[in-house]
């Protein structure tokens, strides 16, 4: 299977929880699918059909820090500006809040669209990951051929929720999966398993005697004779599950 492999590196990023508005802004430890979809569309310069795209990734950071930011909360007003005859239409206050930032993010993104190579070599908009001020750079862009194997390892990646029953590690998170721009940015959510440590395929709890096969990046580091497995996700449609383990 040929895929487009893109490595994105930056100084900081933050993937906010969408239901937090004021007071504190925690971050997901990994980019949600909506962030990946927005990043793809930014590079191509257009909204792409989410049904035609699948993605997998490997994501690491070098630490985290809490920063203090301000929100300007405004509301409708009346009267005049002090000392003038100019009508006052808005007034507000400045609210400080704490935002968690991830330091030195590195995203290795895999897409099932190798023909998009030229678009990522010359992206339409500024390369960001997370917020608009989190500028990043592409340090590697190429088309590679994934390999199929029955033994692999998983690490620093997003896995489907169905794999939570097979893993002894990882954190389940409810993440925004897709924003429907045709319906005023209506969001859909799904559960995922964030895995930030290394797990071997033979450690997975298997149900039945079926031998699983995994797609691996042949350029990934080799540990115990195994390479890193990639689990591909969809932006829309049925929830991703075991069917994505083998796409060979």
Do 105 and 207 have their domain in common? yes
Range(s) of the domain holding residue 87: 68-97
| Residue 181 pLDDT class (50, 70, 90 cuts) | confident
- pLDDT tens per residue across span 191-222: 999 999 999 999 888 766 666 899 999 999 99
Are 150 and 35 within one domain?
yes
Q: Compute the mean pLDDT over every residue in the chain, rounded to the nearest whole number.
A: 90
**14-23 per-position pLDDT tens digit:** 998 988 777 7
Q: What is the pLDDT at residue 207?
A: 65
Indicate whether 92 and 185 sit together in one domain: no
pLDDT at 93: 82
- Residues 123, 72, single domain; the answer is no
Q: Is the pLDDT of residue 85 over 90?
A: no
Instruction: Tally the domains of the chain.
Output: 2
pTM for this predicted structure = 0.88
Q: What is the pLDDT of residue 96?
A: 85
Same domain, 74 and 174: no
Report whether pLDDT(136) > 50. yes
CATH number at residue 203: 3.30.70.3120
Looking at the fold, whether 44 and 91 belong to one and the same domain comes out as no
Both 227 and 110 in one domain: the answer is: yes
Which residue, among 216, 174, 167, 178, has the nearest Cα to 40 in the 3D structure? Answer: 178
Write out the two tokens for 233.
């996700």
Considering 97, 118, 153, which residue would you say is the last residue of a domain?
97
């Amino acid at each position: 299977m040929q895929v487009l492999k893109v490595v994105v590196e930056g100084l900081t990023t933050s993937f906010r929880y969408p239901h937090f508005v004021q007071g504190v802004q925690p971050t997901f430890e990994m980019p949600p699918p909506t962030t990946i979809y927005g990043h793809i569309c930014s590079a191509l310069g257009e909204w792409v059909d989410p049904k035609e795209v699948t993605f997998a990734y490997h994501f690491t950071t070098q630490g985290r820090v809490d920063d203090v930011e301000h929100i300007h909360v405004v509301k409708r007003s009346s009267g005049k500006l002090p000392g003038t005859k100019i009508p006052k239409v808005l007034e507000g206050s400045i609210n400080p809040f704490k935002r968690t930032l991830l330091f030195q993010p590195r995203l290795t993104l895999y897409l099932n669209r190798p023909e998009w190579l030229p678009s990522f070599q010359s992206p339409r908009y500024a390369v960001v990951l997370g917020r608009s001020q989190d500028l990043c750079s592409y340090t590697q862009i190429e088309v590679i051929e994934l390999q199929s194997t029955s033994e692999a390892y998983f690490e620093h990646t997003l896995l489907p929720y169905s794999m939570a029953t097979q893993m002894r590690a990882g954190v389940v998170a409810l993440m925004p999966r897709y924003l429907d721009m045709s319906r005023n940015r209506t969001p859909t959510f799904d559960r995922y398993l964030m895995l930030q440590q290394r797990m071997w395929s033979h450690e997975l709890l298997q149900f039945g005697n079926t031998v699983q096969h995994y797609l691996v990046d042949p350029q990934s580091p080799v540990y115990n004779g195994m390479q890193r497995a990639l689990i591909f996700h969809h932006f829309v449609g049925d929830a991703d599950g075991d069917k994505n383990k083998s796409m060979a």
